[in-house]
Amino acid sequence: MSKKFLSGNLAGKALNNENKLILIATYRAFIHSKMDIKHMDQAKISIVIHTSFGGLESVEQFSSGIKKNSLKPNSFACSSPSVPASIISMCWGIRGPSLTVVSPRFSEEAVLESASDLAGIDTPEWVICGYCHFSTLSSVESQNQMQSQLPDFAKIWITKWKI
Amino acid sequence: MKVVITGIGLMTAFGKGADCFVKNIIDQKDGITTIERFNAEKYRGNQAGQVPLSPGQAWDMADLLEAAIKEALTDAELSIENDATAPSWIVGTSYGYLIDRERVNRAILGRDPAHGAHINGQIISMACVSSTHAIGLAKYYIESRKADCVIVGGVEILREVIHAGFHAVRALSPDKCCPFDKNRKGLVLGEGAGVLVIESQQRANQRKAKIYAEIAGFGSASDAFHLTAAIPNGKGLEVAILKALTQAQLDSKDLGYINAHGAGTIQGDRVESIVFQRIFGGTKNPIPVSSIKAAIGHTIGAGGVIDVALSGLCLTKNFLPATLNFKEPEKEFSLDYVTATREKKVDTVLSVNFAFGGNNAAVVLKKVRP
């Protein structure tokens, strides 16, 4: 992945594995779509992400820092499930609304339904859609077998909403 | 189609219920106490707005949410006869995977759902705008007839990981929280739950429900700037507010009151004042602005619904709440900061929230005349 996407406030060291994977998936989606985002109205692009335990990896890292008396602000900053949508927004300058839904199930239909909801409250021309799942110590140890058996993944696609 | 609020349920640092909440807000009390749930002495601040507990009692998120749901349903006089007519629900909270969906369903139905019954519920996790966004979605659900009635909730519980997190990013105040004051030092966290019953005005009139307010406008936008800091020029917040005003068909000069995010952080409050001054400044009669974060703490994901509930109560009970601990504004701002409870009738309220990750959201409420 090009270094230019991890510069400034998004220095690689500030991101957890989950967010790096999200950025790579989004980067590939942009390449695949052949979109020239620099010449688009970034306020007319929205983001919809479905996640299961988004940010929990960072919560666990930060919690362990409390015990060790070594608090890392970056871990806390990355702990919200909405961070994947936020870093996509920061990285590509997207200023339309974003929506993060916590869902135990993943399907393209569910994400597109959320995108449709978002299009109902705003008027995006494009919607960056996706879902992601990341195993964490908690999810593996939990009794939620469906979650723990899933591999880590991030899927991002770009939908032209206003035709 | 007009979308209205017909029920309110609140669990805050003042205790259970909207009546108790309003009385304490009008009396300019605060519910901020020393944290006893974990050792907070090692952090920059050791106080928070905690929901009062009886001896031996322990709240979890579902308890708070359940209590607020029950109050809101009773307040709305909403009877759910069977699972097929159960309202949809949308809950906003900062860590959505901690919400027990089954308990939300049970709290709404008053029993376990029938085998195979599907109740449409979803969880929004967008830090401090989680439940504000839930309101925007609920408005759309009603307008698009995707649902007849939506239960919108926000919930947050005080946990050491969150308190330590705000300490780590240097956002906690070592003293009292004093939003918009020139000597403010940061925020004080809070916990609680807020629930709104939202439906169309037509449906509310048909069942002769009381109406708190119309949700006339919603807007949201992103800063695309930083994970924890708001963009200094406040452009994202400004866009969100203008979208909400446009949707509500409301001219900025006709707004009655601004229920600000006003968390008490040095940068956040400044950005908010810049935006308010840019949109609403320069008028003969400045628009009153206040924040209740010094009274109940910053309830993060629950804050949006609690703020909008307060805004609806302001419209029906004809008062504007004070910003506690506010003494002096920053020099360059000439806003009408409310420093003591005002008895005042207003017809419109703007409620705004913004969050980590550059998320901004705004809601416009209008008074509904019988």
Q: Find all residues with CB under 8 Å of B310, minimum gap 6, and list them.
A: B21, B25, B259, B292, B321, B351
Residues B168, A94: Cα–Cα separation, whole Å: 28
Number of domains in chain B: 1
Q: Token match 């304490």: residue?
A: B24
> Bridge partners of B315?
none
A7 vs B: CB within 8 A:
no
Q: Token match 């209740």: residue?
A: B292
Q: What is the residue type of A119?
A: A
Q: What is the pLDDT of residue A142?
A: 53
Residues A95, B90: Cα–Cα separation, whole Å: 24
Residue A137 lies in a domain: yes
B157 vs A: CB within 8 A:
no
Residue A51 lies in a domain: yes
Residues of chain B in contact with residue A47, where contact means CB-CB under 8 angstroms, are: 222
B218 vs A: CB within 8 A:
yes
Q: What is the residue type of B358?
A: G
Residues B35, B209: Cα–Cα separation, whole Å: 40
Residue B46: half-sphere exposure toward Cβ, Cα within 13 Å: 8
Q: Which residue of A has its CA nearest to B40?
A: A66
Residue A73 lies in a domain: no
Q: Token match 């820092």: residue?
A: A65
pLDDT tens for chain B, residues 1 to 370:
999 999 999 999 999 999 999 999 999 999 999 998 899 999 999 999 999 987 777 788 999 999 999 999 999 999 887 777 789 999 999 987 888 898 999 999 988 888 777 789 999 999 999 999 999 999 999 999 999 999 999 999 999 999 999 999 999 999 999 999 999 999 999 999 999 999 999 999 999 999 999 999 999 999 999 988 999 999 999 999 999 999 999 999 999 999 999 999 999 999 999 999 999 998 888 999 999 999 999 999 999 999 999 999 999 999 999 999 999 999 999 899 999 999 999 999 999 999 999 999 999 999 998 7
CB contact under 8 A, A81 and B358: no
Is residue B353 within 8 Å of B94, Cβ to Cβ?
no
Residue A68 lies in a domain: no
Residue A70 lies in a domain: no
CA-based nearest residue to B243, from B274, B268, B229, B222: B222
High-pLDDT (> 70) share of chain A, %: 81
Residues of chain A in contact with residue B97, where contact means CB-CB under 8 angstroms, are: 52-54, 56, 81, 102
What separation in angstroms does the CA of B175 have from each of B181, B184, B316, B328? Answer: 13, 9, 34, 16
DSSP state of B325: T
Residue A63 lies in a domain: no
Number of domains in chain A: 1
Q: Helices (DSSP H) in chain B: which residue ranges? A: 18-26, 61-75, 101-109, 130-143, 160-168, 201-206, 235-247, 266-280, 293-296, 303-317
A44 vs B: CB within 8 A:
no
Domain of residue A27: give its range: 3-56+82-160
- Containing A59, the helix (H) or strand (E) segment is helix A56-68
Q: For B357, which of A42, A86, A102 is closest by C-beta distance? A: A86
Q: Using CB atoms and an 8 Å cut-off, which of residues 53-112 of chain B contact chain A?
A: 94-97, 99
Residues B18, B13: Cα–Cα separation, whole Å: 12
Q: Token match 């998936």: residue?
A: A25
Residues of B tagged active-site? 128, 261, 298
| pTM, two decimal places | 0.95
Is residue B125 within 8 Å of B96, Cβ to Cβ?
yes
At residue B219, φ and ψ (nearest 5 deg) are: -145, 150
> Bridge partners of B16?
B11
ipTM, 2 decimals?
0.95
Residues B305, A135: Cα–Cα separation, whole Å: 31
Q: CATH no. for residue B255?
A: 3.40.47.10
DSSP codes joined into one string, B98-134: G--HHHHHHHHHSSPPPTT----EEEE--GGGHHHHH
Q: CATH no. for residue A7?
A: 3.40.47.10
Is residue B163 within 8 Å of B172, Cβ to Cβ?
yes
pLDDT digits (tens, 9 = 90+) for A34-93: 988 889 999 999 999 999 877 887 888 888 899 898 898 888 988 889 999 999 999 999
Residue A67 lies in a domain: no
B127 vs A: CB within 8 A:
yes
Structure tokens, A120 = 């109902």
Structure tokens, A46 = 């929205």
Residues of chain A in contact with residue B239, where contact means CB-CB under 8 angstroms, are: 43, 95
Domain of residue B277: give its range: 1-370
